[in-house]
Amino acid sequence: MMKGIKKWRLFSLLTALMVILSGCGEKHLSTLNPAGQVGRDQLDLMLLSTGIMVLVIIVVLIVYVLAIVKFRRSKVGEDVIPKQVEGSHKLELIWTVVPIILLLILAVPTVVKTFDFADVSGMETVNEEGNKTAVTVNVEANLYWWEFEYPDLGIVTSQELVVPTQEKVYFNLIAADVKHSFWIPAAGGKMDTNVDNLNQFYLTFDDASDGLEEGVFYGKCAELCGPSHALMDFKVKSLDRDDFDAWVVKMQDSGAEQAVEGDVAQQGQDIFNKSCITCHAVSGAGTAGSVGPNLATFGDRNRVAGFMDHTEEDIKKWISNPKEYKPGNLMPQPEAINNGKKFTDQELTALTEYLMGLSVED
Amino acid sequence: MSSIAQKKGFGATLWDYLTTVDHKKIAILYLITGGLFFVIGGIEAMVIRIQLAQPDSDFVSAGLFNQMITMHGTTMIFLAAMPLLLGFMNAVMPLQIGARDVAFPFLNSLGFWLFFFGGIFLNLSWFMGGAPDAGWTSYASLALASPGHGIDFYTLGLLISGFGTLIGGINFLVTIINMRAPGMTYMRMPLFTWTTFVASALILFAFPPLTVGMVFMMVDRMFDGNFFDHTMGGNTIIWEHLFWIFGHPEVYILILPAFGIFSEIFATFSRKRLFGYSAMVFATVLIGFLGFMVWAHHMFTVGLGPTANAIFSVATMAIAVPTGVKIFNWLLTIWGGSIKFTVAMIYAVAFIPTFTAGGVTGIMLASAPLDYQLHDSYFVVAHFHYVIVGGVVLGLLAGLHYYWPLMFNTMLSEALGKWTFWLFFIGFHLTFFIQHFLGLLGMPRRVFTFGANQGWDLYNLISSIGAIGMALGVAVLVVNIIRTIVKNEKVGRDPWGDGRTLEWAVPQPVPFYNFKQTPLVRGLDTFWIEKQEGNKEGMTYAEPVGDIHMPNNSFIPVVISFGLFVAAFGALYNGEQPWAVPVLILGLVITFGAMIVRSLKDDHGYHVHKEDLMDEKGGKH
């Protein structure tokens, strides 16, 4: 009977805890609202460990509160000399063994999951035609921007990662300059992008992200990488497999001459081809390693420079003074690429018009 | 002697402190300098919290913010927490084992001055082109890319002050091994002495890897060495290993002495022997040992592979066992006791739930797959502040109140102390509890700003409001200290009435030679035993009054340290300024010259004669 009551208490406690935890946070950003199996497993571990830990805290608190209430000097008397107890082997044994058991309960799933999450063997699986079945993304972290190359599909994009749902998406991670760390909190834990070596892991996404508030998951750089570390955000779009495949085809085709609509945009393209194209590619077909972010999907994006609003006004602000908005970033000031002059308002409008037209989505 | 000391003018007092080799005065130097750096680090913390109080704030620039977080961490760990603990070790440990002084008084002074000049050098970076900005961990790829001289100040400053700490650690080890009073076996040593012993051993083994890392970094930055440059065959991960092989034991170097202080306080103010003394000693040693086996848990996301991650996960969890043993032994110490809630005891009592909270989040972080989510998020920030503020800083504040009468023969105001406690304690939980959730909600650490509407705005504001409470608490403490010094009301020997260990048996003010006769230790809590047996004199002594051999004061430690300070500027501006190399040589000449003088000049110290000792009462009792 007593045991039943205790169990019930623990259960209600865990339920309460889960309600509190799951009630928290934005769906596109919070580790408490996992978007896929990896994140879910990690949340389960979190709940398990939190449960065990809350249990420990409760035990400590009960002894603690009783002790400081019962044995205050005003209660036991001013001149009382307490019995000088040396210790108790039995108690020492209990509070050594019980924690060990509790830790084992946590250690087993920890070890299992550690190996699970490191298993990237599925990366190499091929179908009958010899094509890789899984999507692999080569992530290259650069000072304050992210490049995403799909080596098996021959496409490359930046700042906004696009992934298929309902399958493991594999990542090869590396940094181009200093160490960064690749983190999509809603999808699962982070992994560092080292300068020295390639790291590999995988994430999964259950549903297409268009149901989210802004239609994207938030990604973050989690390792201090310089002044604009805080601004090194990226976004993740998850698409159902069919949509993803369609997107891939469009990306592969974006290499063909894109129709530029209107005179203003045409002028923008001219300026772009004169000043910007050295660093920025506008074709999604290609490989990694460009100096600046690939802009093939610029018009489809959720942010400018990773963190500014995707509006014409902010694009102009960004182009005319990148150093101010993202301290320490490597994009040249306009004077350096436009014969020593700032861009005029008219030129900015043209560039903006052109950039906003760069799109592979409908 | 002591009455003459009190009548000295300011200049003479200053000279006295510059040249002192007395562990009690060096303790005061550590306390003043460490306290000063604590305030500086606190101001840096306030700047951080002001900046993060609102989204998209521009209170400080991104670059300056990174300097703030770097210097906040570095200052608090290396220049505040550790020196303050070394201060308490100096003040208490030799008395606690009934020694005249530490084993090498001259080195003790040298250790302090190296720390002092290293700390000053590091902080001068603020005025000389910018502070280090790669985080207190200074990961190699970022540190090598960092422009300006910030990182050079970091490596050189920490090298100099690190030597000081290493010297201090070795000194304490030798002291505890060799200079215990007759009868004080290892298993009769008070817990603070035990924790000092283990922490010193950790310093001995942990600082060399840091020194190696710092030298590599210095060579890389100044002479284009390639230890960490991966394009030239170097490897940045090696820095991470070197740093954390030092960095994790460092956590225990800080927390173990705090555990020691709390152990003394629990026993004293419960009027009860420490419960499970031998288990406590064993747990301390075990924590010290395991502390070296777990460094890679700071690197779970680096990509060490699942085998390494699993091993380090389990090893890290194992540390929870001895730590839990300690928590329960403290609880059982106050259980059945007679608890007096002095300010020191209030801190100790508040420490238990706070530190337990920090400990359990540590277990969560120990689980590698879970750590992938929590690592480098605000959850980690919350965790280590719970451990370091909730453990170390509460320990320092408790120790300050508890040992103040021993060090200064006066007592800090209990009323103001309680104000400090409540402001600081509530402020602390307000600041850091919510940060766990910020981390879970996806906020990375070390961000100089954050965009609005990511669900973080309110929590950050609450956190910043809490920080004000902590700042106010420290302000009240400063007032308390000044008031106590001005009032200068002497309290005499064993002011708490329930002192148990040897340090409370020494007369007040403490004579410069400590115990006139070396005491005889008859058990654990030896002073308590004597009091319980009605010993009027307070102690049993192991020897008749005799001549006491004392070391002479010396200015040489200041000169040696100052030489390195000068040389560091030369090294810093090497290749940039024409005067750099001459200054470097000048500094080294000063240092080595002073060392040669020290080596060649015989200094035999002096004797305090038996007759003088007989005349002198050496305190109120």
Same domain, residue pair A188 and A62 = no
Query: Tens digit of pLDDT for each residue in B539-566?
Result: 889 888 889 999 999 999 999 999 999 9
* Residues 292-351, chain A, touching B (beta carbon < 8 A): 307, 327-328
Same domain, A176 and A216: yes
Low-confidence ranges of chain B (pLDDT < 70): 1-7, 615-621
Closest chain B residue to the Cα of A184, Cα to Cα:
B442
Looking at the structure, tell me whether residues A108 and A139 fall in a common domain. no
- Residues in B closer than 8 angstroms to A88, CB to CB, are 275-276, 332
- Does A332 have pLDDT greater than 90? yes
A330 and A201 share one domain: yes
**Cβ atoms A239, A164 nearer than 8 A:** yes
Token pair for residue A195? 């300068």
Task: Say if residue A57 is in the same domain as residue A147.
Answer: no
Q: Give chain B positions within 8 Å (CB) of A227.
A: 61-63, 66, 133, 448
pLDDT tens, A115-129? 999 999 999 999 888
What is residue B610's predicted lDDT score, i.e. its pLDDT?
Answer: 86
Q: Give B336-358 pLDDT, tens digit per residue.
A: 999 999 999 999 999 999 999 99
Residue A6 lies in a domain: yes
Q: Establish if A126 belongs to a structural domain.
A: no
* Amino acid residing at B256: L
Is A122 contained in some domain? no
Residue A136 has phi, psi (to 5 degrees) of -115, 135
What's chain B's length in residues? 621
CA dihedral A303, A309, A311, A313 (to 10 degrees): -130
Whether pLDDT at A5 is above 80 = no
Residue A127 located in a structural domain: no
- The number of C-beta contacts closer than 8 angstroms across A and B is 291
**CB nearest A87 (choices: B275, B310, B361):** B275
Band (pLDDT 50/70/90 cuts) for residue A1 is very low
A286-to-A296, A304, B598 alpha-carbon distances in Å: 11, 22, 70
Whether chain B has a CB inside 8 Å of the CB on A8: the answer is no
Cα distance from A338 to chain B (closest Cα, Å)? 27
Minimum distance, in Å, between the CA of residue B354 and any CA atom of chain A: 10
Residue B516, Cα to own-chain centre: how many angstroms?
30
Q: Dig out the tokens for B143 from the structure.
A: 């540190």
Distances (CA, A) of B300 to A59, A284, B11, B316, B591: 30, 34, 54, 12, 42
Chain A, 56-95: which have a CB under 8 Å from a chain B CB? 56-57, 60-61, 63-64, 66-68, 71-73, 76-77, 80-88, 91-92, 95
What pLDDT is stored for residue B621 in this prediction? 36
- Measured in angstroms, the CA of B71 and the nearest CA of chain A are apart by 14
**What does each C-alpha distance from B533 to A82, B518, B537 come to in angstroms?**
15, 20, 11
CATH number at residue A254: 2.60.40.420
Convert the pLDDT of each residue in B19-58 to its tens digit: 999 999 999 999 999 999 999 999 999 999 999 999 999 9
Question: Do the domain assignments include residue A25?
Answer: yes
Q: Looking at the structure, do residues A185 and A328 belong to the same domain, yes or no?
A: yes
- Rounded Cα distance, B97 and B190, in Å: 8
The chain-wide mean pLDDT, for chain A, equals 90
Same domain, A183 and A43: no
Chain-chain contact of B440 with A24 (C-beta, under 8 angstroms): yes
pLDDT at res. A223: 96
Predicted local confidence at residue B9, as pLDDT: 85
Q: Answer whether residue A124 is part of any domain.
A: no
A139 and A14 in a common domain: no
Calpha distance B210→A247 (Å, rounded): 50
For residue B453, count CB atoms less than 10 angstroms from its CB and return exposed for 0-12, middle for 13-18, buried for 19 or more.
exposed
Amino acid at residue number B116: F
Cβ distance B275 to A85 less than 8 Å, yes or no, reads yes
In a domain, residue A361? The reply is no
Identify the residue whose tokens are 């750096």.
B37
DSSP characters over A218-265? EEEE-S--SGGGGG--EEEEEE-HHHHHHHHHHHHHTTSPPPPPSHHH
User: In this predicted model, which residue has the larger pLDDT, A10 or B266?
Assistant: B266
One domain for residues A109 and A223: no
Is A195 contained in some domain?
Answer: yes
**Residue A1 CB coordination number (10 Å):** 5
DSSP string for residues in B104-157? -HHHHHHHHHHHHHHHHHHHHGGGTT----STTTT-HHHHHH--SSHHHHHHHH
pLDDT of residue A16: 61
Q: Are residues A22 and A148 in the same domain?
A: no
What domain count does chain A have?
Answer: 2
Q: In this complex, which of B133, B352, B372 lies closest to A188 when CB atoms are compared?
A: B372
* H or E stretch at A142: strand A135-142
Domain that holds residue A240: 135-356
On the question of pLDDT at A142 being above 50, the answer is yes
Q: Are residues A105 and A176 in the same domain?
A: no
Residues A111 and A168 in one domain: no
What structural domains does chain B harbor? 2-554+603-615 (1.20.210.10)
ipTM of the shown complex: 0.92
